[in-house]
């Protein structure tokens, strides 16, 4: 490993950040762990360098090593880090600390943790100016306002006087960026800065970062797991895997030519907004990221690579410059270069039934769920009614047998509450639910055992969905035990069948949940839900905590199970691409209401509801060549306690036509038999003002159709 | 490769793994031996003590530690060693039973309050708060004065006094556990409330309860000793460390051993159990000792 030096890179200007052959280790109970191995990267001024990788890739460790802010058991073993002409590794810690916050600044995932809750926003920015720029108090205050203005904060004077808890996540992240830029740093490190934000907010923040870069001539290290974000904002990108950089180059080079099997795998995993399960199947990367204390010999990606040869395992391949500025750590890059479709060809056309409408197995009509915020316990005796949160307000959907209804929306739109009402975990306030023609009581306690079996749920957090005290075999067999009429052997058999259906080896049966990865736990959760042979499974953000390569495998699994057992899904997600891919029908939710519903092809083509249009325009598409309409939403999502009158979207709607939107609830309009939009603008007008939001992806829907 | 690693960990017997963790922590080991020593002395005490704990011998009074009386003798010429050993009996039994009572009731009440929530929870928790707001020793004194002090009344008072604390711990764990998806999955597949409480919730409460129980034991020992000191503990002639300390006060200057040995016993036992309690916490609760 130590012998490996990459050829000198051709960077026209001197890089601001120059990291060479950096190796970082952690001392752990299992010995020394090489978390980052021999990584080199350079970032020039005015450049955004995207570092992408899945969890365990070592990307955050790398960032921490660059600022020498490792955990106590971490250590930089070899390599060099230079910031301009300063050698950061030889600097005494006291000098290093002066660099933090002035020459190098950081923006983290959770803005709330980065801002002091008890000091006003303006004071905090001013403090930085006083400390690092040695400004007087009044100058510093002026500087703070100027920074807020640059962040395109509406009404910076009032924001400066507010405290952290009075700002939304997106606003807060702008504040953190403002603090980071106050000192005019040479290097800005952004570690998953948009991961905790909604997609519309994310888009706005990315726009902001892009614009600011033209003004501040700094180097940006942008760490993310989201390939779409990288394609959107970065100039160059390094793909990291298990502690090493697999491929590096400009965004176009890496996304369009993809000279490493891992990059191809990652991009093949991603559902695209323009694809669905009928025309393309996702290619998951088999296997797991290696444990850092059990690294394979030779190519680190070897055990999971479809192109692996004996030579790959003999020696660790060194980085090759395949074209100017485009590096790959794959020995067989020439094979990849000559065949751009190699490894991508698994995206084959699926052979699926054409749309034949199955019978309606489940209908929910006018479901409402109001939470009473004030009254609970003792209080409920004295207070009659408190303030209400209208989490779900008059939602009606139908689910057909063997089909998937996707529900998309940003956080707080009520999609999860809706699913929990259907499951009976929340008691709906009013409305009617019918399952296979039978009226369904509101709470699970009141449902018959036959009804309980027919609706199951897969939860968001795989870590919480299995009882840590039971083996996963116990967890999966419990539904069979409950049926009461199966012998031990039969149960054993059924459990084994389920294990093979979700592609888990049988010898996992005796394992405890903590011995499984997140993706495996989610498979078990699916297996358990399948056990009672339900009519419908409610999937509540089942993918959101998983890495993309794991997501792909899980999506494939859900589709396979649907194919074989004609099960229906209600698939809830904030990820439009995943919803588009897996769903036959899609409902778009905003503030407790559905604003557009239809077959998934139709919803993702114009005419759109203005909100759907904005969502589509905000999603980061993992393809730098894609042209995306740029529609950005202003302001924050209103509070569900104090809902806007008329159309709920009117406070942010870019297409608002006037008073009528504020005064009257918009009507439902039928675009076709299976596509409805709830808006005051007539369909013809929508058609003329809208064009397709996402254009230019290689396999657009039109072509497939 | 990764899979093999897991398997190896998996086949390692559970008790071995736990023992390794215990040994890793020296204090826990020390505490463990202290507790075992005291429990042993409580159990086999009557068989090993050289003298009857109540046997008075005026000629031998106030003798300093010697080969005959390794802890010396007290103002009635009773053997201090025998009395300390026998005293461990009453402390361990009273404090142990008291703590156990508190744990059992606290567990049941905490489970109910936490799981059902709402009005019931409110009523229960307000009651508990009221109980907790009265200083423990004061409450115990009041009750024991009016009821009269006996072996059973002390146990009852000690047990009763710690119910609220245990309830609060259990309830907070239940509140956390009951929102986990595996509980909701159990509801969805139609499990009975009994199954959910006993099989899904309880196993997750137990580690917290074990730690809490050991903490309660520590406090109960202290409480029993304090009550003894005030003369409200087990009544003479049954030896009681707290009472022994209080009795010996007039002789502090010329016969310090009478006060030293029972006092040291209290201190050592309390510290020993806290070490064990600490070890339990690190072992059983997340965020404790871990190498992975
Ligand atoms: S070097 Fe070999 S094993 Fe590694 S990625 Fe390339 S082809 Fe695959
Ligand atoms: S009704 Fe008005 S505010 Fe609402 S989405 Fe349509 S145009 Fe926008």
pLDDT tens digit sequence for B88-130: 888 888 899 999 999 999 999 999 999 988 888 889 999 999 9
Most B CBs within 10 Å, among A302, A376, A377, to test the B interface: A377
A295, closest residue in chain B (CA to CA): B1
Interacting residues of A694 by C-beta distance below 8 A, sequence separation 6+:
A273, A274, A616, A617, A619, A621, A626, A627, A628, A629
Task: Measure A452 CA to nearest chain B CA, in Å.
Answer: 6
Q: How far is A378 from chain B (nearest CA, A)?
A: 6
Q: Ligand 2 site: residues with CB under 6 angstroms?
A: A 610, 647, 649-650, 653, 655-657, 661, 666, 679-681
Among A302, A313, A322, the mutation site with the greatest number of ligand 1 atoms within 8 A of its Cβ is A302
User: Mutation test of ligand 2: which of A671, A679, A685 has the most ligand atoms closer than 8 Å to its C-beta?
Assistant: A679
Domain assignments of chain B as residue spans, ordered by start = 21-45+77-284
Question: How far apart are the C-alpha atoms of B210 and B215, rounded to whole Å?
Answer: 9
A-B CB pairs within 8 A amount to: 91
Q: Is residue B78 helix, strand or coil?
A: coil
CATH code assigned to B21-45+77-284: 1.10.3720.10
Q: What pLDDT score was predicted for residue A356?
A: 59
* B58 interfaces chain A, CB cutoff of 8 Å: no
Instruction: Locate the chain A residue with the closest alpha carbon to B289.
Output: A29
Q: What percent of chain A has pLDDT over 90?
A: 48
Which regions of chain B are under pLDDT 50?
Answer: 1-12, 288-292
CA dihedral A356, A362, A365, A371 (to 10 degrees): -130
- Using CA coordinates, name the residue in chain B closest to A380: B119
Residues of chain A with pLDDT below 50 are 1-11, 345-347, 698-705
Compute the Cα dihedral for A666, A667, A670, A674 and give only its sign. Answer: positive
Looking at residue A6, its pLDDT comes to 37
Cα radius of gyration (chain A): 27
The verdict on B67 touching A (C-beta cutoff 8 Å) is no
Chain B hits for A381, CB-CB cut-off 8 Å, are 119
Report helix, strand or coil for A521. Answer: helix
pLDDT at B24: 65
Question: Among A607, A635, A644, A653, which residue has the most ligand 2 atoms within 8 Å of its CB, making it the best to mutate?
Answer: A653
**What is the pLDDT, as a whole number, of residue B285?**
76
- Note every long-range contact of B119-125, with CB atoms under 8 Å and residues 24 or more positions apart, other chains counting: B119/A377, B119/A378, B119/A380, B119/A381, B121/A377, B121/B171, B122/A377, B122/A378, B123/A378, B124/B167, B125/B167, B125/B168, B125/B171
Q: How many Å apart are CA A571 and CA A588, to the nearest integer?
A: 12
Give residues with Cβ within 8 angstroms of B267, minimum separation 6.
none
Atom of ligand 1 nearest to the CA of A299: 4
Nearest to A219 by CA among A109, A93, A81: A81
In this prediction, residue A614 carries a pLDDT of 93
């Amino acid at each position: 490993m130590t012998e490996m030096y990459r050829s000198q890179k051709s960077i026209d200007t001197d890089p601001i950040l120059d990291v060479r052959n950096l190796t970082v280790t952690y001392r752990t109970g299992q010995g020394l762990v090489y978390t980052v191995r021999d990584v080199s990267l350079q970032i020039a001024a005015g450049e955004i360098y995207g570092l992408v990788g899945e969890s365990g890739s070592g990307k955050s460790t790398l960032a921490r090593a660059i600022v020498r802010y490792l955990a106590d058991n971490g250590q930089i073993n070899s390599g060099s880090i230079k910031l301009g002409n300063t050698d950061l590794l030889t600097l005494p810690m006291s000098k290093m600390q002066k660099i933090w916050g002035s020459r190098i600044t950081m923006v983290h995932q959770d803005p709330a943790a980065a801002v002091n809750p008890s000091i006003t926003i303006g004071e905090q920015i001013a403090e930085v100016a006083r400390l690092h720029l040695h400004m007087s108090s009044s100058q510093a205050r002026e500087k703070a306002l100027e920074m807020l203005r640059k962040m395109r904060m509406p009404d910076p004077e009032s924001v400066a006087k507010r405290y952290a808890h009075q700002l939304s996540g997106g606003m807060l992240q702008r504040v953190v960026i403002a603090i980071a830029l106050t000192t005019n740093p040479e290097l800005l490190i952004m570690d998953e800065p948009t991961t905790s934000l909604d997609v519309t907010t994310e888009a706005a923040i990315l726009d902001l970062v892009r614009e600011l870069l033209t003004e501040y001539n700094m180097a940006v290290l942008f760490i993310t797991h989201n390939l779409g974000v990288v394609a959107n904002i970065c100039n160059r990108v390094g793909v990291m895997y298990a502690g090493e950089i697999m491929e590096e180059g400009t965004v176009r080079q890496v996304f369009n030519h993809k000279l490493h099997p891992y990059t191809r795998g990652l991009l093949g995993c991603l559902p695209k907004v323009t694809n669905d399960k009928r025309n393309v199947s996702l290619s998951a990367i088999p296997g797991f990221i290696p444990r850092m204390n059990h690294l394979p010999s030779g190519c680190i990606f070897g055990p999971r690579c479809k192109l692996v040869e004996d030579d790959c395992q003999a020696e660790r391949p060194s980085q090759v410059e395949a074209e100017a500025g485009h590096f790959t750590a794959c020995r067989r890059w020439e094979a990849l270069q000559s065949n751009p479709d190699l490894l991508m060809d698994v995206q084959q056309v699926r052979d699926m039934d054409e749309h034949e409408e199955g019978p309606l197995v489940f209908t929910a009509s006018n479901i409402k769920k109001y939470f009473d915020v004030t009254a609970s316990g003792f209080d409920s005796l004295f207070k009659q009614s408190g303030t209400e949160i209208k989490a779900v307000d008059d939602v009606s959907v139908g689910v057909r047998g063997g089909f998937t209804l996707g529900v998309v929306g940003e956080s707080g739109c009520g999609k999860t509450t809706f699913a929990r009402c259907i499951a009976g975990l929340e008691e709906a306030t009013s409305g009617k639910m019918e399952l296979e023609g039978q009226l369904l009581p509101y709470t699970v306690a009141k449902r018959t055992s036959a009804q309980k079996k027919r609706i199951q749920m897969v939860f968001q957090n795989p870590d919480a969905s299995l009882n840590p005290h039971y083996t996963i075999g116990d967890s999966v067999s419990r539904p069979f035990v409950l049926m009461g009429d199966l012998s031990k052997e039969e149960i054993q058999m059924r459990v084994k069948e389920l294990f093979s259906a979700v592609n888990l080896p049988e010898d996992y049966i005796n394992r405890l949940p903590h011995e499984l990865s997140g993706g495996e736990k989610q498979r078990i959760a699916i297996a358990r839900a399948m056990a009672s042979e339900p009519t419908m499974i409610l999937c509540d953000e089942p993918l959101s905590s998983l890495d993309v390569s794991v997501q792909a495998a899980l999506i494939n699994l859900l589709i396979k199970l649907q194919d074989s057992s004609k099960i229906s899904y209600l698939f809830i997600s904030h990820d439009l691409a995943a919803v588009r891919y897996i769903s036959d029908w899609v409902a778009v939710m905003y503030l407790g209401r559905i604003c557009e519903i239809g077959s998934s092809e139709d919803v993702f083509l114009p005419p759109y509801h203005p909100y759907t249009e904005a969502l589509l325009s905000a999603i980061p598409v993992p393809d730098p060549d894609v042209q995306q309409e740029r529609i950005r939403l202003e302001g924050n999502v209103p509070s569900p306690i104090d809902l806007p009158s008329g159309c709920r979207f009117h406070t942010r709607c870019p297409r608002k036509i006037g008073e009528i939107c504020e005064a009257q609830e918009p009507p439902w309009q039928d675009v076709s038999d299976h596509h409805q939009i709830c808006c005051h603008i007539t369909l013809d007008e929508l058609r003329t003002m809208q064009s397709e939001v996402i254009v230019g992806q290689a396999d657009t829907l039109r072509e497939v159709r | 490769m990764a899979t093999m690693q897991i398997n190896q960990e998996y086949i390692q017997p559970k008790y071995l793994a736990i023992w390794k963790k215990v040994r890793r922590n020296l204090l826990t080991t020390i505490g463990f031996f202290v507790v075992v020593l005291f429990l042993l002395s409580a159990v086999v005490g009557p068989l090993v003590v050289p003298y009857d704990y109540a046997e008075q011998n005026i000629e031998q009074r106030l003798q300093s530690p010697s080969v005959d009386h390794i802890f010396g003798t007290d103002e009635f010429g009773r053997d201090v060693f025998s009395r300390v050993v026998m005293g461990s009996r009453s402390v361990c039994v009273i404090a142990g039973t008291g703590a156990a009572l508190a744990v059992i009731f606290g567990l049941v009440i905490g489970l109910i309050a936490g799981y059902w929530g709402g009005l019931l929870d409110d009523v229960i928790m307000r009651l508990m708060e009221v109980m907790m707001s009265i200083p423990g020793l004061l409450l115990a004194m009041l009750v024991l004065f009016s009821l009269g002090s006996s072996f059973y009344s002390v146990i009852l008072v000690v047990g009763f006094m710690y119910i609220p604390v245990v309830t609060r711990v259990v309830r907070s764990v239940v509140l956390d556990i009951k929102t986990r998806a595996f509980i909701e999955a159990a509801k969805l597949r139609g499990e009975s409330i009994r199954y959910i409480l006993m099989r899904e919730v309880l196993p997750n409460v137990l580690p917290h309860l074990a730690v809490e129980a050991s903490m309660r034991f520590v406090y109960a020992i202290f409480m029993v000793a304090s009550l003894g000191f005030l003369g409200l503990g087990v009544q003479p002639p049954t030896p009681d460390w707290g009472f022994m300390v209080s009795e010996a006060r007039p002789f502090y200057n010329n016969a310090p051993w009478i006060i030293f040995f029972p006092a040291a016993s209290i201190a050592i036992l309390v510290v020993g159990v806290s070490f064990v309690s600490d070890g339990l916490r690190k072992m059983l609760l997340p965020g404790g000792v871990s190498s992975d």
